[in-house]
Amino acid sequence: MLTIAYIANGKSTNRYHLPFSTKLKDKIKVKTIYSRSDKHAWDKIEGVHYTTDIDDIFNDPEIQLVVVTTPSSSHYNYGKMILEHGKNALIEKPFTETSTEAKELFALAKEKNLLVQCYQNRRYDSDFLTVQKVIESGVLGELLEVEMHYDYFRPEVPENTASYSKESSYLYGHGCHTIDQVLSYFGNPETIHYDVRQLLGAGRMNDYFDLDFYYDKLKVSVKSSYFRLKERPSFVIYGKKGSFVKQTKDRQEEHLKLFYMPENPDFGIDLPEHYGVLTYVDESGTYHEEKVVSEIGDYSRVYDGLYETIMNGKAKIVKDEETIRQLEILEEGSQSLSI
């Protein structure tokens, strides 16, 4: 068993981590959860030790992995503390506030022969996995363009934010999802075009971004806005022989917000109305238009991968250089904004 602990006991821990780590009962044991306050907004898990003393984690020889789900401003400090106490670390995204901090943590982990990794659960979104299946089927022919959208209609968020902060910007908060998907599947681009905006004016919150990643003939675009009353499709893919449109996003988060948990057999699974539409012309010139059954997303695959790495020595699922490059892109994209 891989014995783990959590630093922080808020929404991130309880909504996006515990339902997936506790699902792997034959591999993962959640032993301790630390928070600064002993007030608990979430139901306690039977058998888990809840504490306000962080040394209960650091001084426990059974705990092998510590998960950090605090705000990003404290990720570097907690990551360093965990490694210095001889334990592996999983850190929420954005991994750190700067690429320099990330490099320091990876160097420290290497020095101590430990693991530190970013929690990139969105690699296991249903829509992203389905897109990979379609691309790899080859029916689209040579891939020319990929559009990825992550939209909201939440104007109250930027309107109620009077000043700019890089760490609370839309690019840092949501680009860390989609940019990782790009890097994990397509690799490091040859060039990047940045269009990062403050739609409400200089000095206000970053509430829009449009990044174009270029790979020879292929362009992969990541677009997000807080002002989209009607969301754009989650993914649109164009090849020389056809296209694929996946309108709806992965449903795991939707179900989690309803407290509909992974133990349910239909958790996060698309219904036929959520399936994407594939349109293409085959080798004989015949036109096809059909729905594609969605792949099943599963965030517990992050913890499954960590188990295999820590316990069985397999390669990390999120490479250090991918995390560093993502942070460099977030930094580069923020440079044009008015503080």
Are both 70 and 145 inside the same structural domain?
A: no
Q: Which stretches of the chain score pLDDT less than 70?
A: none
**Residue 268, pLDDT score:** 97
Residue 313: inside a domain, yes or no? no
**Residue 278, pLDDT score:** 98
**Residue 183, pLDDT score:** 98
Are both 200 and 78 inside the same structural domain?
A: no
Residue 328: inside a domain, yes or no? no
Residue 95: inside a domain, yes or no? yes
**How many domains does one find in the chain?**
2
**Residue 168, pLDDT score:** 81
- Predicted confidence (pLDDT) per residue in 40-85, tens digit: 888 899 999 999 999 999 999 999 999 999 999 999 999 999 999 9
User: Could you tell me if 264 and 23 are in contact, meaning their C-beta atoms sit under 8 angstroms apart?
Assistant: no
Sign of CA dihedral 212, 196, 147, 119: positive
**Residue 23, pLDDT score:** 95
CATH number (domain holding residue 12): 3.40.50.720
- Predicted confidence (pLDDT) per residue in 168-178, tens digit: 899 998 999 99
3-state SS, one letter per residue, for the chain? CEEEEEECCCHHHHHHHHHHHCCCCCCEEEEEEECCCCCCCCCCCCCCEEECCCHHHHCCCCCCEEEECCCHHHHHHHHHHHHHCCCEEEECCCCCCCHHHHHHHHHHHHHCCCCEEECCHHHHCHHHHHHHHHHHHCCCCCEEEEEEECCCECCHHHHCCCCCCCCCCHHHHHHHHHHHHHHHHHCCCCEEEEEEECCCCCCCCCCEEEEEEEECCEEEEEEEECECCCCCCCEEEEECCEEEEECCCCCHHHHHHCCCCCCCCCCCCCCHHHCEEEEEECCCCCEEEEEECCCCCCCHHHHHHHHHHHHHCCCCCCCHHHHHHHHHHHHHHHCCCCC
Residue 10: inside a domain, yes or no? yes
**Residue 78, pLDDT score:** 98
Are both 216 and 263 inside the same structural domain?
A: yes
Domain end (from 119, 149, 181) = 119
Residue 316: inside a domain, yes or no? no
Distance CA 46, CA 40 (A): 14
Residue 338: inside a domain, yes or no? no
Are both 225 and 130 inside the same structural domain?
A: yes
**Residue 27, pLDDT score:** 98
Domain end (from 119, 140, 168) = 119
Are both 175 and 213 inside the same structural domain?
A: yes
Are both 109 and 134 inside the same structural domain?
A: no
By residue range, what is the domain housing residue 272?
Answer: 122-297
Are both 107 and 134 inside the same structural domain?
A: no
Are both 262 and 288 inside the same structural domain?
A: yes
The phi and psi torsions of 26 (rounded to 5 degrees) equal -85, -5
Are both 158 and 273 inside the same structural domain?
A: yes
Residue 305: inside a domain, yes or no? no
Pick from 321, 310, 300: nearest CA to 87: 310
Are both 109 and 149 inside the same structural domain?
A: no
- Predicted confidence (pLDDT) per residue in 120-153, tens digit: 999 999 999 999 999 999 999 999 999 999 999 9
For residue 291, the tally of other CB atoms under 10 A from its CB is 12
Half-sphere exposure of 279 (CA within 13 A, CB side): 7
Are both 127 and 74 inside the same structural domain?
A: no
